Amino acid sequence: MPVGYKPTVFVSSTCFDLGQVRSDIKDLIQTFGLEPVLSEYNSFPVSPDTDTISNCLRNVREKADIFVLIIGGRYGFQTNNGKSITNLEYLEAKRKNIPIYVFVNTGIMNVLPIWKNNPDADFSSHVENKKVFEFVETVSHFKSNWVYKFDSASDIKSALLQQIPYLFMEALEARKKLKVNEVNLPSDLFPPKAARLVIEKPDGWEYLLFAFLCKEYLGRLEHKKFDLEYGISFNNVIEIEEPQEVFNWITAHNNEMLKLIRITTTLINDAAIKSLGEPGVEGDYRQIQHVCQRLLEVYEQIINWKLSFTTLEVNEDFEPILKVLSGFADDPLAKIDKFINRVHFEIPEALDNIALSGEQVKLDFTFSLESPDINGFNRELKKLGDLYFQNL
């Protein structure tokens, strides 16, 4: 965290019916020396190239350190999936695993049991949309949420005045744990969210850490993915004129790709599983980080391997086999991308479902790669052999 950085508090609610409440909470947040993030103020960071929903979710994802959710009688604008923006902001905060304080209007909390027993009744005097009850029911079931009732902004302010200082105490306790247990969490390897997972160890923290670090490290290679898309390489051009030397280059590169494929499958199917720990046994955060780092290093090596074809100049007779060979990188890159995106979304979702239902969830992340086009490679290899070496 940069020196001088102020922790931010994202306030999520329906703006229209709770405008004064939000204004009062903003003032309170500032009295703590924290930075309030509210969408109706000019200080709310906006990207002009994205829509309202994307901007809100991005600010939760990138800015929020603490999340305050206030639920009144309005559900708000519904997105295509039927969820409100407030609902999506809350889910984003849950995925981020930051402290969340939930405040629900007392009238709604009092009527909630009646709605559960008779959901088809008319509750228009209490809520604009019955989805408000569904939303409250959802947030109430998360064991990590403590839901507060409120009638006015003063109720929310009073609760936050009591609770936020506890966060500072938790931070001091975490600092003490780091020193006592000699936990080493370099910021370049363990961003704040990763460090929090290691220190606080919520249920399934090993899996959350693995999913987060894989996605985090993949994001750091975005520039390499663009290089691959546009065929950009700053390596020196390699000119090979002798056919036998070209064959040697092709053989070496084929062997290198097979090695990278073996490393990838070993990391995901063996090393990752061991790092997460056997059932009932805690995983090792250092091993988890090591596996994630090595996986993305292999990913980068595969990109560099494919880019090496862009700086190779040989006789045009070799172009067909080089095209087939360079395609050997496509399946590993696509499968690693897919794997990382799957664990990033499915692991937090599964843990949320477990918290809600208490039932076990089984996920299968077995990693397998398609066999390279060996037949096509061998056909082109034979053509070249007949062309250059048939008289030898």
- What are the domain boundaries of the chain? 8-181, 192-389
Cβ(275)–Cβ(284) below 8 Å = yes
**Best CATH choice for the domain 192-389 from the list 1.20.1420, 3.40.30, 1.20.1530, 1.10.10:** 1.20.1420
- pLDDT of 315: 92
> In this predicted structure, what is the pLDDT of residue 366?
79
Give me Rg for the CA atoms of the chain. Answer: 27
Query: Could you tell me the pLDDT band of residue 5, with boundaries at 50, 70 and 90?
Result: low
Could you please state the CATH topology (level 3) that the domain comprising 8-181 is classified under: Rossmann fold (3.40.50)
Please report the pLDDT score of residue 171 as a whole number: 67
Residue 182's pLDDT is 61
- pLDDT exceeding 70 applies to what percent of the chain? 89
- Express each pLDDT in 169-189 by its tens digit: 776 666 666 565 566 788 889
Judge whether residue 365 has pLDDT over 50: yes
- What are the tens digits of pLDDT across the range 236-278? 999 999 999 999 999 999 999 999 999 999 999 999 999 999 8
Through-space distance between the first and last CA atoms of the chain, rounded to whole angstroms: 66
Task: Specify the higher pLDDT residue, 243 or 368.
Answer: 243
Over residues 219-242, the mean pLDDT reads 91
In whole angstroms, give the CA distance from residue 283 to residue 287: 8
- The residue length of the chain stands at 392
Least confident of 165-179, 351-365, 373-387: 165-179
Q: Is the pLDDT of residue 77 over 80?
A: no
What is the reported pLDDT for 218?
Answer: 93
Tell me the mean pLDDT in the region 365-383.
81
**Model pLDDT for residues 31-55, shown as the tens digit of each residue:** 888 888 887 766 676 666 667 788 8
pLDDT at residue number 81:
72
